[in-house]
Structure 1
Amino acid sequence: MSSILTNNASMVALETLRNINRNLETVQNEIATGKKISSAKDNAAVWAVATVMSSDVESFKAISDSLSLGSSTVGVARSASEKVVETLKEIKTLIVGAQGENVDRAKYQTDIEEKMGLIEGYVAAAQFNGLNLLNGSASGDVNVLASLDRSSSGSVSASYIAVARQDLSIANTGSAATFGGTAVTNTTIMDNAGTAAGTAATVAGSATRTVSIASVADGNSYRITLSDTTTNNSLGTRSFEYVASAADSLESVAANLTTQMSNFFAATGETNYSVTRNGEDIVIANASAQALSVTTVTATGGTAGVSSGGLGNLANIDVTSTTGAAAALTTIEGLLNTAIDATAAFGSSQNRISGQSEFVRTIVDSMTAGIGGLTDTDMEAASAKLQALQVQQQLGVQALSIANQAPQALLSLFR
């Protein structure tokens, strides 16, 4: 039935053209913005996910800046500590030269003191943005923001890389400690929890004595004194002392004392005695036929004192005498090991930060690609769709024009 009041064909053609125009507008917006989802009304679920990911990308960019700052700070400290190591090696060379009998030890001492000044300069200058990891001005680790962790429940937490400070200062010599005796039995216990009035232990010929480090605290001092009084042995009386820092453990204290004794035996050509370490235990062996006296003391019996700088003993080196030159040889070995350990620690920390920084960059790239996959327009497909819709639009206009002409045909019935 034909009607002049209702043109069904025209309504269908009009609605079709409207849908084509809406789709054409959508495609044109996608091409113009480059986004197939630019607001929540386009696709609320995808938009929400993409928005959270975009926020995380910006956060990771801030983390990358933090890692760069941390890497620079540690890099400055590492470079300075490497210079300290090189200078300590030069000081060791001077100390070795001062071991001779017919040398001008005063000149060696002057050169050594000049090198000490260089070390103080390196340590003082090793700061980045006001943070110095070498001068012992603060304790505790420095935390570098490393990552942003999001759980499945949506909660977010930050994670950090802890960089340990390494005290390589000289000027911070600390205050003197008052020592109290610690009792010695079959195994000597060096424990700062308390002091007992003990006596020296005797290591018989061809026997060993174990010294066990039982507790460690920042500023506590540990001293082992070896003494032989017979004419057959050549040690005399020699003390080995170490002041623990906050970063020390039972094993590191034992390792330092062991290194001091071992280096002394090697430097003096002492073959009657040897020392090894097993964890926190120091094993002193007497290969001679005569007895060796071993006395251990800690600082708990009196005043613990203030922890000295990591290279504080460097200021006590004095090679102007035969005894001082021999003692300096032992001291410099311990100080050199301290500086080497510090440099290695900084190198490890900087390497870890660099690796994390690279990982964060990879995460940012991956998340950016993921966001693009969710929201970006496929330009090739959009171009093809645009051309198709433009053709559909032209056809829709023609169809609507034809449908609108249908009522005109009814007039011929009345002519």
Structure 2
Amino acid sequence: MSSLNTNIAAMTALQTLNQTNKEMLVTQNRISTGLKVKDASDNAAYWSIATTMRSDRMAVSTVEDALGLGAATVEVAVTAMNSAIETISKIKAKLVAARAPGLDRAKIQSEIVELQNELKNTAGSAVFSGENWLQGDSTGTLTKTIVASFSRDSTGTITIGTIELNVGPTGTMLFDTSGGQAGILDQIRTPPSGGADYTIDTLDISGVTDDPADLTRLEEIVDGVDAALNTMTDAATLLGAAKSRISLQKDFVQKLMDSIDTGIGQLVDADMNEESTRLQALQVRQQLGVQALGIANQSAQQILRLFQGG
């Protein structure tokens, strides 16, 4: 039935054209933003998951920064510890040389004093970002922590992992700044023979003679310095292990961030090849829709011509 009041063909063509325009707008937005899920209205579930993953990705990026800071701090401590080990080895060599009879031990002591000062300077300058892991207060915090990981389990519970390093007297502390003399180099040592107590950083052999008792004490001091050297070697091993673990964790965190980025992309990124193809198809549909609407609108003119022909 042909009607002047109701043009069903035009209404249908207009609805189809409007739907095509809506789909084209969606496709154009996806092409311009590169996202198929830009906000919650596009896909609430995917948007929610992607938003959480983006937040976690930022947290993991912060962990990477923390690991970089920790790596730099450990690197400074490792460098200083290795330098201190070389210096203590030189002190040990001087003491062994002083064991020979007839030497001017006062001159050897003057060299040892310079090496002792070098030890203090080395430990005091091993600072990065306000942190010094070779000297500190033995009555304070004796464990340093480095943020190493961020994770979220299936229930949404967040866990922050850390790498811990002992910077106390049994760890990497060379000097005790609290005055308690608990560091590796400033702790009080007692010779087995019962001689005067000493510390590595203040020992003095200028008064040692060729008397057997003095030489025995000197040998015991050499043993004490060697014991300190072994302890420092253990401390260097702790630092080296921490450095290696931080390096491995940094590599893992970088790969983890790449995986998170890939996961987010799978959820919300638009397939540009697919969207380009869809856009071309919609453009053809739009053109056909416009033509169909034009044809439908001509039906009234055809009815008018019928009356004109009568």
- What is the TM-score of this pair, normalised by structure 2? 0.87
The residue number in structure 1 matching 2:212 is none
SS of the equivalent of 1:396 reads helix
The residue number in structure 2 matching 1:408 is 301
> CA shift at 1:317, angstroms?
5.1
The residue number in structure 2 matching 1:301 is none
More strand, by proportion:
1
Aligned residues: 291
Query: How far apart in 2 are the matches of 1:46 and 1:411?
Result: 55
Question: Higher relative contact order at CA 8 Å, sep ≥6: structure 1 or structure 2?
Answer: 2
The residue number in structure 2 matching 1:33 is 33
Q: 1:122 to 1:381 in 2, by over 3 A?
A: same
Select which of 221, 243, 267 maps to 1:350: 243
The residue number in structure 2 matching 1:13 is 13
Query: How far apart in 2 are the matches of 1:167 and 1:20?
Result: 73
SS of the equivalent of 1:154 reads coil
SS of the equivalent of 1:316 reads coil
Query: How far apart in 1 are the matches of 2:118 and 2:271?
Result: 63
The within-5 A match list for 1:205-220 is: none
> CA shift at 1:411, angstroms?
2.5
Q: Deviations over 1:312-369 (max 9, x none)?
A: 4442353634233212211111011111111111111111112112211111111012
Q: 1:173 to 1:156 in 2, by over 3 A?
A: closer
SS of the equivalent of 1:78 reads helix
Q: Deviations over 1:113-159 (max 9, x none)?
A: 11011000000011111111111324421111111121110121212
Q: Percent identity, please.
A: 38
Q: 1:382 to 1:139 in 2, by over 3 A?
A: same
SS of the equivalent of 1:145 reads strand
- Show structure 2 runs of 5+ residues with no match: 210-214
> CA shift at 1:172, angstroms?
6.8
Report the residue type matching 1:12 in the other structure: T
Query: How far apart in 1 are the matches of 2:106 and 2:293?
Result: 111
The within-5 A match list for 1:60-71 is: 60-71=60-71
Query: How far apart in 2 are the matches of 1:171 and 1:25?
Result: 69
The within-5 A match list for 1:383-394 is: 383-394=276-287
SS of the equivalent of 1:147 reads strand
Report the residue type matching 1:36 in the other structure: K
The residue number in structure 1 matching 2:203 is 316
- Show structure 1 runs of 5+ residues with no match: 177-219, 226-236, 242-310
Greater Cα offset, 403-412 or 15-24: 403-412
Q: 1:175 to 1:87 in 2, by over 3 A?
A: closer
The within-5 A match list for 1:312-391 is: 312-316=199-203, 318=205, 320-321=208-209, 322-391=215-284
Matched, 1:146 2:39: no
Query: How far apart in 1 are the matches of 2:3 and 2:58?
Result: 63
The within-5 A match list for 1:15-414 is: 15-137=15-137, 138-165=140-167, 166-169=172-175, 174=180, 237=193, 312-316=199-203, 318=205, 320-321=208-209, 322-414=215-307
Q: Deviations over 1:59-104 (max 9, x none)?
A: 1111111111111111111110000001111111111111111222
> CA shift at 1:370, angstroms?
1.2
Report the residue type matching 2:154 in the other structure: S
